[in-house]
Structure 1
Amino acid sequence: MSISATVTETPRTVTPETIPAASAHRLSELDVLESEAIHIIREVVAEFERPVLLFSGGKDSVVVLHLAAKAFWPGKVPFSLLHVDTGHNFPEVLAFRDATVERLGVRLEVARVEDYIADGRLAERADGTRNPLQTLPLLDAIAAGRHDAVFGGARRDEDKARAKERILSLRDEFGQWDPRNQRPELWNLYNGRHTVGQHVRAFPISNWTELNVWRYIERENIALPPLYYAHERDVYRRDGMWRAVGPVSEPRPTETVERRTVRYRTVGDMSCTGAVDSDATHVNDVVREVAVSTITERGATRADDRISEAAMEDRKKEGYF
């Protein structure tokens, strides 16, 4: 028996009251980025035995630590922090680092470049900067701690070398990065397989921009070192940047010291990081300032990235981030 019938229905009028609550809710951009980052952090902790977070006290590593705290709340962050201390850090950043460690009750591992210079494993550079000297202490600390995954706050928008990175970046037995030996990452599936001696660098905020970071800091009310906000400081002009006057950053006889209101977009060593003129004293001021910027923070204020066209690429291949 065949049945041929036509059933028609009168379309319902769609009003806000008839839309299911789940359909009406839309995640903001920050919610999506936060969810992705927390997923990555949880995946790494579940898959690896001894992860560690590279923590400098800079805004990106502070945000990653904040995300980790949210990911495992009400428990504690289930991994330690690692700082490669060059000896040229801003005192304000070190004070912030130590206060953060105490507040969260996490373990801090410190690898000191100064120790390597003292015993001859490393030598001071002619240009005075120590940032390029961080690789060996970092790799030694990873090996000593038997860390099979290292979280970092690198973002793809910072530099073209970092734009090539996977979320999980495989490093070989020597800690080096080979672009031909990276895995595809599809549908938020991350392959952490590695052999003995290898490890993985994990970048939870890889897809964030500088503006995303600052909007998230504003939304979450995240504390930062005071260097990130406008303050008065003695500076001098070198290579188009305002460099701070300090024991490891002395002006040359031809360079004039000025008292200016500046802030830092990124926090590296005093010997290689420049400040920018700014009157942004609060986080919402910084958000507006970053929103109209046309150059990344590393491109604007990091002398160590100007050593060569491929400075970041070279350091990454050798084993740094």
Structure 2
Amino acid sequence: MTLALDRKTANLDALESEAIHIFREVAGEFDRPVILFSGGKDSTLLLHLAIKAFWPAPVPFALLHVDTGHNFPEVIEFRDRVVAKYGLRLVVAHVQDWIDDGRLTERPDGTRNPLQTMPLLDTITEHKFDAVFGGGRRDEERARAKERIFSLRNAFGQWEPKRQRPELWNLYNGRHRPGEHVRVFPLSNWTELDVWNYIAREKIDLPDIYYAHEREVYLRDGMWLAEGPWGGPREGETLERRTIRYRTVGDGSCTGAVDSDASTIEEVIAEVAASRLTERGATRADDRLSEAAMEDRKREGYF
């Protein structure tokens, strides 16, 4: 048992050290970095690591949230509370603004996750952000497994796999032409279990929906979805009250819950350790649109 604990501690220490190094590297290489922050567990972990990286100085980056308007209220409340607690600057790109002025059109299925790309790229351009921190991890999805820690995006914000650069000996190449930017993923080498073990060790606060609670949900395509402004249930779908929790949070129209009694972080860790499905594969309908759904969106400029 002691050996296992020592290994877990060493693993978390190494992951933390790597992430802090990446934050400091970006601070030294780029002029206007920004951290994508939604209030979800991965972006909250990112912010925690950024605070550690620069303590006792304040975090030298702004935060950016592309708000679909279909987020869970508990997560938005948590986001705003964290921003106020640390005195951070939050830039919010509201997808609804792009819909209202005609730059975007609502999808027939009601999901707004794929609509985030244009607001994200427009906001990056408007604020001249040259490095954008994201909470993506390689264990989440196959397209993300292909991506480097420093991921160059072209002048259109698109990901080009052939332009990925080698990252030997923790050396990161942030060079980019005017109009290009770099997405930076300090959590690339973390797993979902690493994230939860670190959250437990550091006593990081999260939105309550990550833990078991009762909620009215309906079943669609094998996932429990919640009723909300995004629509549903449809004809033939029935609301029922169940004890569930969320493994990941995003647009409410495509983020499913899982049946769970895990109400403490220790119980969540045990549940994650026993799972054989990734969090996105189990609970994100937008990743099921096609075999290459995520990779297609990344090529367009998605997270």
TM-score range, shorter chain: over 0.9
Q: TM-score, normalised by structure 2?
A: 0.97
- CA distance 1:188–1:305, change in 2 (3 Å): same
Asked if 1:213 corresponds to 2:181, the answer is no
Distance in 1 separating the partners of 2:300 and 2:12:
33
Which of the numbers 133, 139, 143 marks the counterpart of 1:157? Answer: 139
Task: Kindly report which structure 2 residues correspond to 1:268-283, keeping only aligned pairs within 5 A, or say none.
Answer: 268-283=250-265
How big is each residue's C-alpha offset from its partner over 1:107-155, in whole Å with a ceiling of 9 and x where there is no partner? 0000011001111100000111000000000000001111000000000
Task: Kindly report which structure 2 residues correspond to 1:42-57, keeping only aligned pairs within 5 A, or say none.
Answer: 42-57=24-39
Task: Kindly report which structure 2 residues correspond to 1:2-41, keeping only aligned pairs within 5 A, or say none.
Answer: 28-41=10-23
Question: Which amino acid is the alignment partner of residue 57 of structure 2?
Answer: G
Distance in 1 separating the partners of 2:66 and 2:145:
23
Asked if 1:116 corresponds to 2:121, the answer is no
Task: Kindly report which structure 2 residues correspond to 1:294-313, keeping only aligned pairs within 5 A, or say none.
Answer: 294-313=276-295
CA contact (8 A) 1:235 1:258 kept: yes
Which is richer in helix?
A: 2
CA contact (8 A) 1:227 1:263 kept: yes
State the SS of the aligned residue for 2:79. Answer: helix
Distance in 1 separating the partners of 2:10 and 2:102:
52
Asked if 1:76 corresponds to 2:58, the answer is yes
How big is each residue's C-alpha offset from its partner over 1:226-278, in whole Å with a ceiling of 9 and x where there is no partner? 11000000001000000012232320120111100000000011111000000
- The residue number in structure 2 matching 1:198 is 180
Distance in 1 separating the partners of 2:72 and 2:10:
35
How big is each residue's C-alpha offset from its partner over 1:32-86, in whole Å with a ceiling of 9 and x where there is no partner? 0000000001101111000000111110010010000000111111100000001
Q: TM-score, normalised by structure 1?
A: 0.91
State the SS of the aligned residue for 1:187. Answer: helix
Distance in 2 separating the partners of 1:284 and 1:183:
39
1:25: Cα distance to partner? 11
Question: Which amino acid is the alignment partner of residue 195 of structure 2?
Answer: V
Task: Kindly report which structure 2 residues correspond to 1:96-135, keeping only aligned pairs within 5 A, or say none.
Answer: 96-135=78-117
Q: Which runs of 4+ in 1 moved over 3 A?
A: 24-27
CA contact (8 A) 1:249 1:270 kept: no
Task: Kindly report which structure 2 residues correspond to 1:50-65, keeping only aligned pairs within 5 A, or say none.
Answer: 50-65=32-47
Distance in 1 separating the partners of 2:228 and 2:289:
22
Distance in 1 separating the partners of 2:253 and 2:74:
15
Structure 1 gap ranges (5+): 1-23
- CA distance 1:27–1:270, change in 2 (3 Å): closer
Distance in 1 separating the partners of 2:7 and 2:226:
47
Task: Kindly report which structure 2 residues correspond to 1:161-200, keeping only aligned pairs within 5 A, or say none.
Answer: 161-200=143-182
- The residue number in structure 2 matching 1:263 is 245
- The residue number in structure 2 matching 1:16 is none
- The residue number in structure 1 matching 2:3 is none
Instruction: Specify the structure having the higher radius of gyration (Cα).
Output: 1
How big is each residue's C-alpha offset from its partner over 1:170-204, in whole Å with a ceiling of 9 and x where there is no partner? 00011001011111010000000111111000000
Which of the numbers 214, 218, 222 marks the counterpart of 1:240? Answer: 222
Distance in 2 separating the partners of 1:25 and 1:128:
45
How big is each residue's C-alpha offset from its partner over 1:270-305, in whole Å with a ceiling of 9 and x where there is no partner? 111000000111111100000010010000000011
Identity %: 71
State the SS of the aligned residue for 2:110. Answer: coil
CA contact (8 A) 1:243 1:249 kept: no
State the SS of the aligned residue for 1:28. Answer: helix
How many residue pairs align between the two structures?
298
CA contact (8 A) 1:170 1:182 kept: yes
Distance in 2 separating the partners of 1:27 and 1:90:
33
- The residue number in structure 1 matching 2:275 is 293
Structure 2 gap ranges (5+): 1-5
1:27: Cα distance to partner? 6.2
